[in-house]
Every structure is written in structure tokens, then in C-alpha cells.
Amino acid sequence: MNEIGRASASLAALAPRIKDAWYVIAMSHEVTGTPIVRALYGVPITVFRRPDGSAAALLDRCPHRNVPLSGGKVVEGDLQCPYHGWRFAADGRCTAIPGLDGPADHPARRATAYPVREQQGFVWVWGEPDKEPVGEPFRFRLADDPAYLTVRREVRTRGSVHAVVENALDVPHTAFLHGGLFREDRKDRRPIRCVIQRHQDRVECEFIGESRPTGLAGRILSPSGGMVTHFDRFFLPSITEVEYRIGDENHIVLNGACTPVDDWDTRLYAVVCIRTRLPRWLVRLAVQPLAMHIFGQDAVVLKQQADALHSFGEASYASTDIDLLGPHILRLMTRAARGEPVDPNAPPYVRETTLLV
């Protein structure tokens, strides 16, 4: 699609599949000795915790007769299928076949295993099973900092990863869809500068000259106002970051790690790190419900968008200069899905535009 102007696209073009990447598959507290099922690009994966505390992820299909392994249980650290009792280690090796006179392990009897990492309250899997991962999962840079209150939440939305990510980083809709909560649809809008830098693996927009958002959330977080620094960022494959500094004391970094359950169903794992003068109980009391309300409004409109795209069978998108990041993100995702090599140090594409807020 062109970045600016009008363009049609197939639904598949709006949902590029990036398999060689880390995705959050579950929150740490959800992963226990009882297996659960999660999906990535429509493929069911069972996730469980072994007695040594490590998390493991296997394709939810027993290699014997294809019964879901998630119906089984963890026995001596391995996952036992509920049908004939075959057992599988975290790396997929078959470790026991009840009744078989001979060794259980054989290449044809292996379960499909996903590389797993667990950090900062999330379990991540590499999108291609049985493959050596490249790099490590995204780190939420303030989530371990005791000066910050960190809140983790999951929001599930009907919508492609691209649509969810674009929404999370889209400024113009906030005055409308969330009117009054964060920004307001005012007549006396003022221009701010938006500087976009697109690298090969990320894109960022810096907003210059913005005053404190006038809505309820801004007033709660920074009653006295103050200078605002604001960045919106996207990192491949599917991570969003909104960073605000308001005055000297208020710093908020809101990350969203998006996982494609399938092409049109996305789980967004939100990590919000807040440092403010307000007591933590007050932030929890006031800001959390507000944030969840805002996420809920977004989820409704994203579902409407996805339903409309499906009923028309294609997209016909008219974009302007103030669709700041969405078109750039689609471009990065499309290239990554094609497996094009990424040079994070290549000079960025830079563009500046004006937005009235």
C-alpha cells in the first residue's frame, strides 16, 4: 500500500505473518502444572510448568494419534498424553510409551517443541518450533525498577496485529473515540511537530511542543501541568511503546506486546510503568479502571473494523500525513514477513509533519 493516499489491499496483506520472532504466549501466573492451551497464528500450543519451575511449550498435538496434549498432565516433569500415556520432555523427546518393550525415544515420535523464555512476568515462545531462536525477547526497560509502579494486563481484541498496533500508537483517534478521557476534540487546536524516524526494525515518532493532555487521565497524573515529552514507538514484530514525561515527576511508559492468536484475533499484553508523585493506591484506584475503559473502547472499534473488512472482503484505506505510524509499521511488518534482512544500524528514513491537537 502507498503510505499516503488511497490504496486497496487484500485482507492477507493487512495481516503479514512474522514467524521468526518471540511472542508472549501467556502471563507467568497462568502457567502452572496444569497445561493450558494458547494459539499462535491459529496453531494451538500447550504451555505448562515443570516441577523445577521451568515453563515448556509443545504443539498441542500428540504425535501418536493427534490427541491434544493439553488434556494430559505433567508427570515427573514431562507431559503425559491423556490417550495412551506417551510422555514428552520439554524438548519434545518421547520419554515413555506404556506397554512398549523397547526404548520410547525415536525421531518419528517426538512432539513439536517451541523454544521458551520466561522474564518479567511473561512466558514467550519463538514462533517457529524446533528452530534456534535469534536474539532474546523484548525487555520492558522499567518493569524491574522499584521506583516505578508496574501493572500488567491482557486485552484480547478481534483485529489483526497491525490494526491493534496502529490503534495503540494512533494519536488522532484519542480526542474522538476517547474524547474527554485523554484528549478533547477542541476547536482551538494547536500545531505540534511530529518527527518520524523509521529504521529497518522499528519506527518512532517524537511529538514536539505538546502540552499536557487536557482530559481526565492527564489531569490526574499531572495536576500542575508541565512540559511534555512524548514518544510513540513500534518494534518488530509487534511491540508498541508510548512514553510520556510530564513535568519533572511524572514518567509513564506503556508497552503493548501483541500476539497473533490468528490473523484477526490478537492478545495484547500491556505493561504500564508509572512514576508519579501520586500515591500508588491512588494510581491503581484511578488510572487502572480508566486505562481498562480506554482499552475497552478501542476493542469495540477494532472489532467493528475487522468485521467491516471481512464483510467487504478487502481494505480500501485512505491515509493522510497524520496517520503517523500505521503505514510505516505495515511496511516493516510486510518486509519482516517476507524474511527480508534487517540492518538495525542502517540510516533511518526521517520525515516531519504537523498535527493539530
CB of 98 to ligand FES, least distance (A): 9
- Cβ neighbours around 343 below 10 Å, total: 9
Judged by CB, which is closer to ligand FES: 86, or 126?
A: 86
CB of 58 to ligand FES, least distance (A): 12
Contact characters 224-263, ligand FES, x per CB under 6 A: ----------------------------------------
User: What cell does 134 get?
Assistant: 535469534
Contact characters 56-75, ligand FES, x per CB under 6 A: ------x-xx-x--------
Applying CB under 5 A, the site for Fe ion has a residue count of 1
Only segment of 113-121, 233-241, 290-298, 312-320 that touches Fe ion (CB under 5 A)? 290-298
CB of 262 to ligand FES, least distance (A): 25
> Of 236, 84, 94, which Cα lies nearest the Cα of 162?
236
- Taking CB within 5 to 8 Å according to partner kind, which of Fe ion, ligand FES, none is near residue 298? Fe ion
Under a CB-based contact definition with an 8 Å cutoff, are residues 203 and 344 in contact?
Answer: no
> Of 241, 242, 244, 202, which Cα lies nearest the Cα of 227?
244
Q: β-strands 250-262, 55-59: how paired?
A: unpaired
DSSP letters, 62-117, are -TTT---GGGSEEETTEEEPTTT--EE-TTS-EEE-TT-SS----GGGPPPEE-EE
Is 298 an interacting residue with respect to Fe ion (CB under 5 A)?
yes
CB of 294 to Fe ion, least distance (A): 6
Q: SS3 letters for 270-289?
A: EEEEEECCCCHHHHHHHHHH
Judged by CB, which is closer to ligand FES: 21, or 79?
A: 79
Judged by CB, which is closer to ligand FES: 50, or 64?
A: 64
Judged by CB, which is closer to Fe ion: 25, or 205?
A: 205
Long-range pairs for 139-146: beta carbons < 8 A, 24 or more residues apart: 140/253, 140/255, 140/271, 140/273, 141/253, 142/253, 142/273, 142/275, 143/271, 143/273, 144/120, 145/273
Among 83, 177, 284, 317, binds ligand FES (CB under 6 A): 83
- Taking CB within 5 to 8 Å according to partner kind, which of ligand FES, Fe ion, none is near residue 86? ligand FES
Judged by CB, which is closer to ligand FES: 6, or 65?
A: 65
Distance, CA of 169 to CA of 204 (rounded, Å): 10
Give the residues across from 245 on adjacent strands.
Answer: 229, 251
Only segment of 153-161, 184-192, 222-230, 297-305 that touches Fe ion (CB under 5 A)? 297-305
Residue numbers 84-103 binding ligand FES by CB under 6 A: 84, 86
Query: Nearest 5 degrees, angle CA 20-CA 23-CA 26?
Result: 150
Distance, CA of 265 to CA of 57 (rounded, Å): 20
Sequence letter at residue 357: V
Contact characters 171-190, ligand FES, x per CB under 6 A: --------------------
User: What cell does 154 get?
Assistant: 491482557
CB of 182 to Fe ion, least distance (A): 8
Element (H, E) at 122: strand 122-126
CB of 183 to ligand FES, least distance (A): 54
- In the numeric block, the cell 510530564 is attached to 246
Judged by CB, which is closer to ligand FES: 79, or 155?
A: 79
- Taking CB within 5 to 8 Å according to partner kind, which of ligand FES, Fe ion, none is near residue 67? ligand FES
Interface residues toward ligand FES, by CB under 6 A: 62, 64-65, 67, 81, 83-84, 86
Interface residues toward Fe ion, by CB under 5 A: 298
